[in-house]
Amino acid sequence: MTRVDQLLDGYVPGDAVSRNALALRNQLRQLGYESDLFAVSDRIAPDGRADCRPLTDLGLRQPDAVILQYAIASSAAEIWRVGGFRRLLLYHNITPAEWFRPYDSVLAAQLEAGRRALPELLSAAHAVAAVSSFNAAELRALGAAAVRVIPLVCATSPPPAPDPTFAARLGGGFTNILHVGRLAPNKCIEDLIEAFGWYSRGFNPRSRLIIAGSDRSCPRYAALLRMVIVETRLETVWITGFLDDRQLSAAYATAALVVGVSRHEGFCAPLLDAARAGVPVLARAAGGIPEAVGGGALLFDEASPRELAALIHLATTDAALRRAIAEGQRARLAELDRRDIGAELRDWLTQAGVPPPASPPI
């Protein structure tokens, strides 16, 4: 059988890159290819080892082609660059290092190295794609000519049943404002905390801000957020840490609004997860976010904390606006659900000169 494997820097269930790789692996298997995921061994989460193998196992498999899911410099990228197989590069965007430099110089250096390596990786690739037009434009600016856009594969079914215990913790008659995503400086979550202070004190004292996401990628930034919460004396802000699927489902089910204030995103899958859960979205129109949400969000370019507080109030109380956002979300999800991901992959593999599968599709 023809084998098409994927390489990642790390694998964490729930992470957008990991979710995308798993979805593509399943599609490849349905098309009749053998396919597995490989990542740097010490960067595979314990609960991800059933789906992702250590990078050192790749040499035992002799793949015909390997897709590199690229978002940061790593040994996986170097193994891919010199591998004796057809090489496909899928670019997720590399966050500019300046966002992380005040908090983590090592991670900032790794991000800088990732951007420096891009031209060489592009030269080594037999075919190149990006998960958004925003990301594709970056690659074209580096000289890549034939860049496909293969959007991030997001959830295509309703979320799982909410964890009832966690849902109960989120109750109590509060208006829940939700932010979902890892705690990283480019997300500018401190802006949201400040805006929530204005909102809770000026518009809705029975409100709660829930910040759901892992703090492992930049612990010092997470510590800063906790200091901001203490200094602003906001008693209804909760940093939950990483949530499993059912806890996250409970967070969406009890949320009145999902807010994103990031200033750099290649796509931003949680905003589409919110749409799938039926929660209106308010987001900054930065990077690939407008492309990701389509017409399914209330977008803003810039807003002071007080202005953002007013937008939160508007988006939680204006019934006509909420209906318009919901209609836009349904239209965007319908558009994404019409995608033929299998056909997109087949065309991309053909472009890279990968032989078709020997076995028929499942």
pLDDT recorded at residue 100: 97
Q: Letter for the amino acid at 67?
A: I
- The pLDDT tens digits of the residues spanning 57-85 come to 987 778 999 999 999 999 999 999 999 99
pLDDT recorded at residue 155: 66
Instruction: Tell me how far apart the alpha carbons of residues 220 and 13 are, in angstroms, rounded to a whole number.
Output: 23
- At residue 288's C-alpha, the angle toward residues 260 and 25, to 5°, is 100
Decide whether 4-151+339-351 matches 164-336 in CATH topology.
yes
Instruction: Tell me how far apart the alpha carbons of residues 109 and 97 are, in angstroms, rounded to a whole number.
Output: 7
Instruction: Tell me how far apart the alpha carbons of residues 286 and 276 are, in angstroms, rounded to a whole number.
Output: 21
Q: Residue 82 phi/psi, 5° resolution?
A: -105, 5
128, containing H or E segment: strand 127-130
Q: Residue 142 phi/psi, 5° resolution?
A: -90, 0
pTM of the model: 0.93
Question: Do residues 122 and 114 lie in contact, with contact meaning Cβ atoms separated by under 8 Å?
Answer: no
pLDDT recorded at residue 362: 58
CATH number of 164-336: 3.40.50.2000
Residues of the chain with pLDDT under 70: 155-156, 359-362
Closest CA to 8 of 74, 94, 65: 74
Closest CA to 182 of 126, 227, 241: 241
Domain-by-domain residue ranges, the chain?
4-151+339-351, 164-336
Q: Residue 164 phi/psi, 5° resolution?
A: -65, -35
Instruction: Tell me how far apart the alpha carbons of residues 72 and 15 are, in angstroms, rounded to a whole number.
Output: 14
Q: Over the range 201-229, which residues count as b (16 or more CB within 10 Å of their CB) and which as e?
A: eebbeebbbbbbbbbebbeebbebbeebb
Long-range contacts made by residues 342-346, C-beta under 8 angstroms, separation at least 24? 342/27, 342/30, 342/31, 344/148, 344/150, 345/24, 345/27, 345/28, 345/31, 345/150, 346/31
pLDDT recorded at residue 361: 61
User: How many CB atoms are closer than 10 A to CB 357?
Assistant: 21
Instruction: Tell me how far apart the alpha carbons of residues 338 and 170 are, in angstroms, rounded to a whole number.
Output: 34
Q: Which residue has the tokens 């759901």?
A: 212
Q: Which residue has the tokens 């389509």?
A: 294
Name the CATH superfamily for 4-151+339-351.
Glycogen Phosphorylase B; (3.40.50.2000)
pLDDT recorded at residue 317: 98
Residue 289 Cα distances to 149, 263, 268, 296, 357, angstroms: 15, 10, 6, 11, 35
